[in-house]
Amino acid sequence: MTISMYKASIPVSIRALNNLIAILEKGATYAETKKIDPSVLINSRLSPDMLPLSKQVQIASDMVNRGTARLAGVEAPKFEDNETTFPQLIDRIHQTISHLNTFKPEQIDGSEEREITIEMRDNTISFQGMPYLLYFVLPNLYFHVTTAYDILRHCGVELGKKDFLGQP
């Protein structure tokens, strides 16, 4: 039995992003309840050499926007990366989910062997479609969603495994 590239990418990404919205909403509520300036949480990081919460959300969004667009062979939407509030970050994720919902299975299915080349800072990486999805896009999505979760949890937001996994 095989699983389609569409089913392995779009629904999985949408679920992770919806869970991220719920996590950010808890962060916003926590800041309001504890009378903490939300920018403190949005600019928090786990380590001085790591990116802040805002950037974790932006990268998670970019990863699936660009990833699915590359699999479909279309242009990805571009964001300015200027979100500085919880509502702006949540809106960005909603926009990402809206973009993902525009894809049809026939646009993604069959991309298993599509050649995908990515220009990185100092090198170029090439993948076939399936390894690109399974070993690059999805791990990056989960890394950045997990890091966003961890930053808020570290700041005191009451989050648990159910928040990360979401409801079935």
Question: Residue 77 carries which DSSP code?
Answer: P
pLDDT at 1 over 60: no
Average of per-residue pLDDT across 68-86? 96
Q: What residues contact 113, with CB distance under 8 A and at least 6 apart?
A: 128, 129, 130
Residues 32-49 have pLDDT tens digits of 999 999 999 999 999 999
Residue 28 makes CB contacts below 8 A (sequence gap 6+) with: 38, 86, 87, 90
pLDDT in tens, 101-157: 999 999 999 999 999 999 888 899 999 999 999 999 999 999 999 999 999 999 999
Question: At which residue do the structure tokens 């648990």 appear?
Answer: 160
Question: Which two tokens mark 119?
Answer: 């220009």
pLDDT at 72: 97
Q: What is the pTM of this model?
A: 0.95
